[in-house]
C-alpha cells in the first residue's frame, strides 16, 4: 500500500470513510451466520457493523497501528495483519468485503490481490467492495499537478482509480462473474476551515515528499488550495470531489 498511516488522526478526522461504507455493506446478500472477511479493515468500524448484522467476521489489514485500534475497540473480533496482495485464509469464507482500500494498490498488483480474494472465497461466494473510481478527486489532483509543474516538480497520482470496464475485465480474468457495478459522484464534506489542507497532508504524503523543503512545500499546498477553492469550497465548507466505484462479483 502506498501510505504510512497516522491511524489516530485518520480515525478522528476521516471517520466518514467508514460511515459511507454502510451502504456498501447492504450489497451483501447472505444469511446471518455467514462468514465475512473485511479486507483492509482499518480500525474495524465496518467489521463491527458486519458482526452486528449477525455475520461471523474476520478483519485483515496491513497496518499494525490501525489493527491495535481495531483490537482495542472490538476485542472479540479476530484481526490479523496481512498484505491484501499476498494473504491466505485457513478456511474459505462466504463473503469478501472491502471499503476504500483497493485504490491504494498499484494497478500491477491488482491481479495478485484478486487471486488472493478468489482463493479466500467459497465457490459462488460474494465479493462486495467499493473503491475510488475513474477520475476520483480530479479537481484536487488537477490543481496539485498544475502548481507542482509551475514549481518545476513532477506530480504523480499515487492511486489506482479504474473505470467499470477496466475493473470488470480484471475481475473476469481472475475468475469472477460481475453482477453489479456503479460508478458515481459522491461529493464529500471535509471537516473545518483547513479541511482540504488536512486531507492533502493525510493522503498525499508521497507526492508532497518530492518537494524537498519548507517553505516551498507549504507554498505549493496553499497555491493549489486557492486554485481549487472556486469549485470545492461552498458555503464555508470544503467538499472533496470523490467518485466511487461500487461492485459485486461472484467467485466462479
Ligand atoms: C478514496 O476513498 O477514494 C480516497 C481516499 C483517500 C485518498 C484517495 C482516495
What is the mean pLDDT of the segment spanning 90-110? 98
Nearest to 55 by CA among 128, 116, 110: 128
What are the pLDDT digits (tens) for 55-93?
Answer: 999 999 999 999 999 999 999 999 999 999 999 999 999
pLDDT of residue 10: 64
Residues whose CB falls within 8 Å of the CB of residue 141, separated by 6 or more in sequence, listed in order = 155, 157
Residue 206 pLDDT more than 60? yes
Q: Give residue 133 CA to ligand 1 midpoint distance, Å.
A: 9
Which CATH number is correct for 7-137+159-191+242-251, 3.90.1280.20, 3.50.50.60, 3.30.470.30, 3.40.50.150?
A: 3.40.50.150
Confidence at 215, pLDDT banded by 50, 70, 90: very high
Torsion, Cα of 138, 24, 188, 65 (10° steps): -90
For cell 453489479, the residue is 180
pLDDT of residue 29: 98
Q: Give residue 203 CA to ligand 1 midpoint distance, Å.
A: 7
Confidence at 3, pLDDT banded by 50, 70, 90: low
Residue 2 pLDDT more than 60? no
Q: Give residue 251 CA to ligand 1 midpoint distance, Å.
A: 26
Q: Whose CA is nearest to atom 9 of ligand 1?
A: 132
Q: Whose CA is nearest to atom 8 of ligand 1?
A: 203
Q: What is the overall mean pLDDT for the chain?
A: 95
- Pocket lined around ligand 1, Cβ cut-off 6 Å: 100, 103, 132, 136, 159, 203, 242
Domain range summary for the chain, segments of one domain joined by +:
7-137+159-191+242-251
Q: Which atom, in ligand 1's list, is nearest to the CA of 100?
A: 2
pLDDT of residue 19: 78
What are the pLDDT digits (tens) for 8-33?
Answer: 666 667 666 677 888 999 999 999 99
Confidence at 4, pLDDT banded by 50, 70, 90: low
Higher pLDDT, 156 or 5: 156
**Cell output for 250:** 461472484
Long-range Cβ contacts of 200-207 (<8 Å, 24+ apart): 200/140, 200/144, 200/224, 200/225, 202/6, 202/9, 202/10, 202/13, 202/14, 203/3, 204/144, 204/158, 205/3, 205/4, 206/2, 206/3, 206/158, 207/144, 207/148, 207/155, 207/156, 207/157, 207/158
Distances (CA, A) of 249 to 21, 100, 107: 17, 17, 19
pLDDT of residue 18: 75
pLDDT of residue 5: 56
Q: Whose CA is nearest to atom 6 of ligand 1?
A: 203
pLDDT of residue 247: 98
**Cell output for 138:** 480530479
Residue 7 pLDDT more than 80? no
For cell 497520482, the residue is 157
Ligand 1 site-directed mutation target among 1, 10, 159, most atoms within 8 Å of CB: 159
Residue 100 pLDDT more than 80? yes
Amino acid at each position: 500500500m502506498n501510505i504510512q498511516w497516522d491511524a489516530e488522526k485518520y480515525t478522528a478526522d476521516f471517520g466518514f470513510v467508514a460511515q459511507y461504507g454502510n451502504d456498501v455493506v447492504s450489497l451483501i446478500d447472505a444469511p446471518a451466520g455467514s462468514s465475512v472477511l473485511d479486507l483492509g479493515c482499518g480500525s474495524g468500524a465496518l467489521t463491527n457493523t458486519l458482526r452486528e448484522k449477525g455475520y461471523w467476521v474476520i478483519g485483515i489489514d496491513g497496518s499494525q497501528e490501525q489493527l491495535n485500534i481495531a483490537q482495542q475497540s472490538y476485542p472479540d473480533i479476530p484481526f490479523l495483519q496481512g498484505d491484501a496482495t499476498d494473504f491466505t485464509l485457513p478456511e474459505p469464507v462466504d463473503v469478501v468485503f472491502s471499503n476504500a482500500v483497493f485504490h491504494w494498490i498499484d494497478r500491477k498488483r491488482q491481479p495478485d490481490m484478486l487471486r488472493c480474494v478468489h482463493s479466500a472465497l467459497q465457490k459462488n461466494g460474494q465479493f462486495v467492495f467499493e473503491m475510488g473510481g475513474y477520475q476520483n478527486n480530479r479537481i484536487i489532483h488537477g490543481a496539485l499537478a498544475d502548481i507542482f509543474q509551475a514549481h518545476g516538480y513532477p506530480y504523480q497520482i499515487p492511486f489506482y482509480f479504474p473505470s467499470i470496464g477496466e475493473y470488470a475485465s480484471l475481475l473476469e480474468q481472475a475468475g469472477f462473474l460481475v453482477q453489479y457495478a456503479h460508478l458515481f459522484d459522491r461529493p464529500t464534506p471535509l471537516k473545518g476551515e483547513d479541511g482540504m489542507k488536512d486531507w492533502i497532508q493525510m493522503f498525499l504524503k508521497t507526492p508532497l515528499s518530492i518537494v524537498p523543503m519548507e517553505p516551498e512545500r507549504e507554498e505549493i499546498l496553499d497555491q493549489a488550495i486557492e486554485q481549487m477553492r472556486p469549485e470545492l469550497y461552498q458555503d464555508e465548507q470544503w467538499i472533496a470531489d470523490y467518485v466511487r466505484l461500487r461492485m459485486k462479483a461472484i467467485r466462479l
